[in-house]
Amino acid sequence: MSEEAVIAKKSPFAVDLVQGDSYYWCACGRSNNQPFCDGSHQGTGLEPVAFTAEKTGTAYLCGCKRSANRPFCDGTHNTL
């Protein structure tokens, strides 16, 4: 059974991504390296979301950990 993700913040993280680079978005909310994984999910039953940047530039990654478009923000934080 998985624990529920912790809300890291109720707004997105604006991050600069590089096209073709791989990233691991923190899905548990416990990472000290938000919005990226630092391994803090160990034992929670939650796993980071691996993704490759489709383009270079600023992306808005989900901070509330409730987005239906993980790892990207879909505005869900506005309803929390």
Are 36 and 80 spatial neighbours (Cβ–Cβ below 8 Å)?
no
> Which segments within 7-55 are labelled E, that is strand?
13-17, 22-25, 49-52
Per-residue pLDDT at 1: 62
DSSP conformation class of 36: B
Closest among 7, 15, 24 to 66, alpha carbons compared: 7
Q: Which tens digits make up the pLDDT trace of 51-73?
A: 999 999 999 999 999 999 999 99
Looking at every residue in the chain, the average pLDDT score rounds to 97
User: Could you give the number of structural domains in the chain?
Assistant: 1
Q: For residue 63, give its domain range.
A: 1-80
pTM of the model: 0.94
